Structure 1
Amino acid sequence: MPKKGNRKRLKFRAEDVCSESVTVADYANADPAIVKSGRVKKAVVNAIEKEVKLLRGLEASQGPVQEVLSSVVSVSGEGCDSSDELDPEDAASGIKGSRKKKNKRRKENSECSDGEEYPIDIWLVLASYIRPEDICRFALICKNAWTVTCTAAFWTRLYRRHYNLDVDLPLRLQPDSIGKMRCLRACVIRSLFHLYEPFSARVSKTPALPESTPTSLVNSKCLLFWVNKVIGNRPEPMWEFNFKFVKQPPKFKNGSSRGLQLPVEYTEVHTNPDSDCYLLQVTTLNFIFTSVVMGMTLTLFTINVSTDMRHHRVRLVFQDAPVLRGKKPRSDQGTQVVLDPVHSVRLIDWWHPQYPTSANT
């Protein structure tokens, strides 16, 4: 068996390397299994250096050749082989040089980070070409773009651009009602789910009860609760239990919620009594007596199989205070509302066409 020290190393000659066989892909896409160290061997670098000299006629000058080699190595992101390492002084000088270049780039970027501030009229003109689904992205460009989305002119133009006489709109979403400043933004958003085809298609494709409903409604406050009698195809009527919830916004250490302050002159435009509200509709086959839960916080919401194995069973637990994050609610505490058997469960957002709006919107 030959000893490890007697193994012969492959030698690279300048004649073996030609301009056609050396490509950037040889370095950028080098196989780590072949080049274990992940670096370009010094023999290959010397061969390329000689080839570059022959091609460009730079035998006398060393500077340009070194620049060409440094550019090749920088593109590949690899240095010499671990067996032929550079001197410590050269490596230290190279690291210092790279740090200086990075610092210069950071200074240049910091000097150019201020950018150009355009007047708000330009942003208002650009807003006339924004699709409804891109309003959020447009508002995140800068503060002036966000201010434009707060104006009454922006929402009025958006409504006129998509208004269609052939669409049957509710009375509160007709052009005469849209002309009012109060709740203008909420009315325009609701009208888009009637007028704008991508939004109306989204309503039809959305399931009646999303999978995230049990967790999304936790710690929501019940504002209203009422029961409707539904006459359907069955000989006996069904009963619809409606729970109107509102999500409580997270509070921070200073007691305020995060976000920009709306301009005072456009406060009525963004007024929406139903903001962050949901309507949970539970349709049962029989009338069920329930406790009064208005003003209480929902801490548990489960949907299971009914006792007859043909319908569902809904269980709601309400408490006076929300449950802290990370703690599980106790089932024996609070007020429980059990609805069984349940025919259907629906969750309706405030912008949904079937959401019952408030009287002052």
Structure 2
Amino acid sequence: MPKKGNRKRLKFKAGDVCCESVTVADFANADPAVVKSGRVKKAVANAIEKEVKLLCGLEASQGAVEEVLSSASSVGADAVGSSDDPEDDEGESETKVTRKKKNKRKKESSESSDGEDYPVDIWLVLSSYIRPEDVCKFSLICRSAWTVTCTAAFWTRLYRRHYRVEVDLPFRLQPDCIDRMRCLRACVIRSLFHLYEPFSLRVSKSPALPESTPTTLLNSKCFLFWVKKVSGTRPEALWEFNFKFKKQVGHFKNGCAKSLHLPKQYEEVHMNSDSDCCVLQVTTLNYIFIPVVMGLTLTLFTINVSTDMRHHRVRLVFQDSPVQRGRKRGDQGGTQVVLDPVHSVKLMDWWHPLYPLLTFT
């Protein structure tokens, strides 16, 4: 009796195969010694596919052919071993091309039926119900929602919804001045920190001295400085040292920020000369003479305990140019400013209620 290993596998050529030449040995329930892969060979399946296409046409046979190919591939995944014939490689390449075409058609159909495009008027109506802290989330829904947040009508309605007569607002933030288009967005945001309770509480809870030294001022350029004598809770007068900084704008790989462009008719609404500015206000118990630092870059900012262990001490170091990223901060050389003893330290962004407003004409 011959051994099973001596049995020859059936060989098929794609050109000679027809419906009559398909035998039992070509199917999964055949003797595994005869058909080692235990599945229909891809060369046979491709030949049958071509014959069916010729008889019935491509569209009529597409479903049946795909069913045969899918069943054959599923059985082949569980089988042990595979055929090394060149006809199998040709069948695999044809199957991959067919799958790519199907995936491409599915992707195009899904993109064409993805969501609805609503007019801007609907988003303008919905914006009347948006809380001030949710404006950013609302603008990220779609381009139309973002366009609504650029309009003067959106910011004017937001101001009128939260305006209260009993709140004492600066002159520039009064209703008569809000009607101007210029810097409307910045003025509304500033007024919300007076009118809107969640925003005002956020500012009022800030301590007189920060818990940790702020690092956002590093590499910022000081372009304005002034000293002011104020009266506080103490019988002696206090001195306010104000440093106005321009924050360094981040650089992008392409040289510009990837952002949406504002509509030209609303560029005045979003104008804000102080958008990247902040004011460092240090209040001391005594007047201290300091050198001129306007035009210099802040490279070191520390808040430590004073030598008498009763107050705090602020140290600022300015350089001619900003420190490059990755290098050690320069505390040697440059212009040094030491304020001691310190009563309070405040870092105010442009929207802070105590931020000094410029005069608009």
- TM-score with structure 2 setting the length: 0.69
Partner of 1:325: 325
Partner of 1:193: 193
**Are 2:280 and 1:280 aligned?**
yes
Q: Output the amino acid matched with 1:136.
A: C
Matches within 5 A, 1:161-176: 161-176=161-176
Partner of 1:268: 268
What runs of 5+ residues in structure 2 fail to find an aligned partner?
Answer: 1-77, 83-91
The DSSP-based 3-state class of the residue aligned with 2:356 is coil
**Are 2:251 and 1:251 aligned?**
yes
2:240–2:283: 8 Å Cα contact kept in structure 1?
yes
The number of residue pairs the alignment matches comes to 279
The DSSP-based 3-state class of the residue aligned with 1:157 is helix
Matches within 5 A, 1:64-103: 87=80
1:208–1:347: 8 Å Cα contact kept in structure 2?
no
Change (3 A) 1:312 1:142: same
Change (3 A) 1:285 1:207: closer
Partner of 1:314: 314
**Alpha-carbon distance, 1:139 to partner:** 0.9
1:306–1:312: 8 Å Cα contact kept in structure 2?
yes
Q: Output the amino acid matched with 1:241.
A: F
Q: Output the amino acid matched with 2:150.
A: C
User: CA–CA distance in 2 between the matches of 1:196 and 1:314?
Assistant: 33
**Alpha-carbon distance, 1:150 to partner:** 0.9
CA offsets 1:69-126 (integer angstroms, 9 cap, x no match) = xxxxxxxxxxxxxxxx87567xxx9xx9x9999888656544444x332222221111
The DSSP-based 3-state class of the residue aligned with 1:187 is helix
Q: Output the amino acid matched with 2:296.
A: M
**Alpha-carbon distance, 1:324 to partner:** 1.0
Partner of 1:8: none
Q: Output the amino acid matched with 1:299.
A: T
The DSSP-based 3-state class of the residue aligned with 1:299 is strand
**Alpha-carbon distance, 1:254 to partner:** 4.4
Q: Output the amino acid matched with 2:307.
A: T
**Are 2:334 and 1:334 aligned?**
yes
Partner of 2:140: 140
Change (3 A) 1:209 1:247: farther
CA offsets 1:339-360 (integer angstroms, 9 cap, x no match) = 1111111111211111111112
The DSSP-based 3-state class of the residue aligned with 1:215 is coil
**Are 2:359 and 1:354 aligned?**
no
Q: Output the amino acid matched with 1:230.
A: V
User: CA–CA distance in 1 between the matches of 2:273 and 2:207?
Assistant: 25
CA offsets 1:11-53 (integer angstroms, 9 cap, x no match) = xxxxxxxxxxxxxxxxxxxxxxxxxxxxxxxxxxxxxxxxxxx
Change (3 A) 1:300 1:255: same
Change (3 A) 1:254 1:105: closer
What runs of 5+ residues in structure 1 fail to find an aligned partner?
Answer: 1-84
Partner of 1:3: none
Please give the root-mean-square deviation of Cα atoms over the aligned residues, in Å: 3.1
Q: Output the amino acid matched with 1:176.
A: D
Matches within 5 A, 1:92-171: 109-113=110-114, 115-171=115-171
User: CA–CA distance in 2 between the matches of 1:236 and 1:199?
Assistant: 33
2:323–2:330: 8 Å Cα contact kept in structure 1?
no
**Alpha-carbon distance, 1:208 to partner:** 4.3
**Alpha-carbon distance, 1:333 to partner:** 2.5
1:150–1:270: 8 Å Cα contact kept in structure 2?
yes
Change (3 A) 1:311 1:108: same
Q: Which moved more, 1:99-108 or 1:212-221?
A: 99-108
Q: Output the amino acid matched with 1:352.
A: H
User: CA–CA distance in 2 between the matches of 1:353 and 1:86?
Assistant: 74
The DSSP-based 3-state class of the residue aligned with 1:310 is coil
**Are 2:332 and 1:345 aligned?**
no
User: CA–CA distance in 2 between the matches of 1:231 and 1:207?
Assistant: 19
**Alpha-carbon distance, 1:221 to partner:** 1.4
**Are 2:233 and 1:230 aligned?**
no
Q: Output the amino acid matched with 1:326.
A: G
Q: Output the amino acid matched with 2:224.
A: L
User: CA–CA distance in 2 between the matches of 1:339 and 1:208?
Assistant: 16
Change (3 A) 1:125 1:213: farther
**Alpha-carbon distance, 1:259 to partner:** 2.2
Identity %: 70
The DSSP-based 3-state class of the residue aligned with 1:289 is coil
User: CA–CA distance in 1 between the matches of 2:272 and 2:224?
Assistant: 17
Change (3 A) 1:118 1:303: same
Larger radius of gyration: 2
User: CA–CA distance in 2 between the matches of 1:258 and 1:330?
Assistant: 33
